[in-house]
Amino acid sequence: MRLDVEIPSGQDTLAAWLYLPDLPETAPTPPVIVMAHGLGGIRQMRLDAYAERFTAAGYAALAFDYRHFGASTGEPRQLLDVKLQLADWATAIAYARSRPEVDPDRVVLWGTSFGGGHVIATGARDTRVAAVIAQCPFTDGLASGLAMDPLTSVKIGARAARDVIAARLGKAPVMVSTAGPLHSAALMATADAVPGYLALVDAEARAAGFDNQVAARVVFDILRHRPGRQAKRVRCPILFNICETDSVAPAKATLRHARTAPRVEIRLYPEGHFDIYLGEAFERVVADQLEFLTRHIPTTQPRTATS
């Protein structure tokens, strides 16, 4: 069963799907997996495919859109603010714990790409989280910046500076493409970015408000953002699904950060950043995630006494 829910977050509202498994009345209250996407991504860009697999295995799932994106409220549209998105994660987790249909002490965080970095940071802060899954995670803004084409760096840096000035003057944001061709003014300007990223966008995603651009000011925040540094503070089990040929979140930096987590498990895939959402690669990664969940957060575990 999938329910459309709305979650207040600050002065805005997060749009979300709550998936509930079909369980016998005598079954333990299920764990819940809180989920969100990466740079400019919304729920309709394949989060439902993962959530449906988790629900079929007996888990509940809550997939939400960040404020300023998709069906969530927030103006200006397409404003990617790291602090606000981390606040949205905290809000979504609190909402999940408030639902009587799920076990509040068995909350799992699942994030992909930029959201993969958010779940590392959130898992480090929230010691009540039961487990974390970070899929092709963004862990190091410096590493991603150094991997960027120099011409692209100049182009997006200029737009970011203009957008910062526009924001101070109260003007409309200066936008930058989220995914674009090699050498273009895009946050992800690699050979596989346009075909890979846009392969996740179908008619439903476009109808839900998908837009391949964000306010350019986020460029400076991204370069400073290094959530991988917080992996060493994640005390619960954490799974890193890492793409070995990742053009956006370099695998070398991700592995370096991942290995600092006390209870880390690492799975490597011979694919690029955008490949593991579809086809055979998707099947392998979601199977690994379910195996991890089954071992650490089994659905058959009775509800905790403190719940």
153 occurs within a structural domain: no
pLDDT tens-place values along the chain, 307 residues long: 999 999 999 899 999 999 999 988 888 899 999 999 999 999 999 999 999 999 999 999 999 999 999 999 999 999 999 999 999 999 999 999 999 999 999 999 999 999 999 999 999 999 999 999 999 999 999 999 988 989 999 999 999 999 999 999 999 999 999 999 999 999 999 999 999 999 999 999 999 989 999 999 999 999 999 999 999 999 999 999 999 999 999 999 999 999 999 999 999 999 999 999 999 999 999 999 999 999 999 998 766 544 3
234 occurs within a structural domain: yes
Could you report the per-residue pLDDT of 19-41, keeping only the tens digit for each?
999 988 888 899 999 999 999 99
Tell me how crowded residue 270 is: count the other CB atoms within 10 A of its CB. 9
168 occurs within a structural domain: no
Residues 6 or more apart in contact with residue 76 via CB below 8 angstroms: 68, 172, 173, 215
199 occurs within a structural domain: no
Task: Name the domain count of the chain.
Answer: 1
88 occurs within a structural domain: yes
Give the residue from 253, 292, 304, 251 showing the smallest Cα distance to 273. Answer: 251
306 occurs within a structural domain: no
Q: What is the pTM of this model?
A: 0.95
Query: Residue 177's beta-bridge partner residues?
Result: 186, 213
3-state secondary structure of 179: strand
170 occurs within a structural domain: no
Structural domain harbouring 270: 2-144+226-296
Provide the strand spans (E) within 141-245: 175-179, 186-188, 213-215, 238-243
CATH code of 55's domain: 3.40.50.1820
183 occurs within a structural domain: no
Give the residue from 68, 64, 85 showing the smallest Cα distance to 77. Answer: 68
